[in-house]
């Protein structure tokens, strides 16, 4: 659990400013950071569904 948390914080938090700056520069839209948040939310939902299935929650 600790390893997964630290990897997620590094990827989504540490590289966040770089990725958001790149998204704004490449799309030209100031709403581009919302794409990053949507992507992070989708990844989180997929991980939650996989954890529910693996742990046997219904």
Which is more confidently placed, 4 or 58? 4
Give 8-20 pLDDT, tens digit per residue. 888 878 888 998 9
**Residue 46: exposed, middle, or buried by beta-carbon count in 10 A (0-12, 13-18, 19+)?**
exposed
Residue 58: what pLDDT? 67
Give 33-54 pLDDT, tens digit per residue. 998 889 889 988 998 899 888 8
For helices 32-55 and 16-27, what crossing angle results, to 10°? 130
Residue 54: what pLDDT? 86
Residue 15: what pLDDT? 86
């Amino acid at each position: 659990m600790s390893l997964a948390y630290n990897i997620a914080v590094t990827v989504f938090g540490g590289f966040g400013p770089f990725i958001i700056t790149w998204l704004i520069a490449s799309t030209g839209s100031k709403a581009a950071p919302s794409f990053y948040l949507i992507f992070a939310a989708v990844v989180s939902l997929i991980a939650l569904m996989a954890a529910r299935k693996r742990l046997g929650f219904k």
